[in-house]
Amino acid sequence: MQLRARLAHADPGLRVVEVSAWDGGRCLGSALGEAPSVEAAEDRALQRLLLRLQEPAPLSAPIVAPQQGVGATTPPARTDVRPAPSPGPAPAPTPTPTPVPVPPVPAPALEPTGGPDRPTVAEAEPLADPDDWSEELAELERLLRQLGWEREQESIYLQRAFDHPSRSRLIRYADLLAYLAALRQLEPGVDPAQAALPLRRSDLLRRSDGLLARLGWGAAQGRALLEREFHLASRQQLSDEDLLRFNDLLAQQLEALTGVSPEHGIPSPAEPAPG
């Protein structure tokens, strides 16, 4: 689901913003929000749209067959009935053909997802984003009140974390969850310009790539660690929490090998990682 916002009307001290939801090229719905600022109007329109999208669609009226009685029309009986033809000789029975057994067709084998050193299991499809984000947005409001942040402080933090100042542009559910997880770790009154930023999945994958490169591990060694610790063959099948723990295991391996705790400056991997 994608969200689009546009400024529908502007007067001194009044802004009206329209937010619409799209799935591919189909518009799922839209809503208007009115407030003194564009950001507040956009947030209000977004909340109204999300509430509207979660309302169940009305059921269609059942089709009732007409009953015999008042208002029902009985079709007239046919009067042009012709006499049945005289029976002739019975036709010879047609022999039933003997079915030919068809051998079962084997299911096609799964194709490998990468090069020759990549796992040959199918990658798990990512879960679709839920349509209803109302609980997460309510939790977000609670956390912001707990931190003592107004809209201006939140905009500063969002700009640092996601390169835009408005929460209505968080159109990926994973980013919203990362935002909530980061806010839960912050102390009330913390400066948004200095607060720790959320660690997103792309950052976790880049870090594991770098750790694997510094260890000199290929995909087979990384996959062996995944299978031993998580019983999985690809990093894409790990949750964010498990991916963070996978990185910690790699860091422990590197520290045991070099005696140095890995920090920043991790180079790019020389060969593909395990998923």
- Asked if residue 253 belongs to a domain, the reply is yes
> Which tokens hold the place of 63?
């089709």
Shared-domain flag, residues 205 and 242: yes
Q: What is the pLDDT of residue 268?
A: 41
Shared-domain flag, residues 175 and 207: no
Q: What is the pLDDT of residue 64?
A: 44
- Asked if residue 191 belongs to a domain, the reply is no
Query: Which among 159, 184, 209 is the end of a domain?
Result: 184
- Asked if residue 152 belongs to a domain, the reply is yes
Number of helices (H) and strands (E) in the chain: give both, helices first: 7, 3
Contact predicate 167/158, CB 8 Å: yes
Local confidence band at 8 (pLDDT 50, 70, 90 cut-offs): confident
- Asked if residue 275 belongs to a domain, the reply is no
Contact predicate 240/127, CB 8 Å: no
Local confidence band at 178 (pLDDT 50, 70, 90 cut-offs): confident
Local confidence band at 186 (pLDDT 50, 70, 90 cut-offs): very high
- Asked if residue 264 belongs to a domain, the reply is no
**CA-closest candidate to residue 266, choices 221, 199, 200, 207:** 207
Local confidence band at 16 (pLDDT 50, 70, 90 cut-offs): confident
- pLDDT(81) > 80: no
- Asked if residue 63 belongs to a domain, the reply is no
User: What CA–CA distance (Å, rounded) separates 21 from 36?
Assistant: 23
> Which tokens hold the place of 121?
């299991």
**CA-closest candidate to residue 205, choices 180, 172, 181, 238:** 238
User: What CA–CA distance (Å, rounded) separates 223 from 119?
Assistant: 8
- Asked if residue 101 belongs to a domain, the reply is no
Q: What total number of domains does the chain contain?
A: 3
Shared-domain flag, residues 179 and 215: no
Is this prediction's pTM over 0.85? no
- Asked if residue 38 belongs to a domain, the reply is yes
Shared-domain flag, residues 178 and 206: no
Shared-domain flag, residues 245 and 207: yes
Identify the domain containing residue 176 by its residue range: 134-184
Shared-domain flag, residues 158 and 207: no
- pLDDT(62) > 70: no
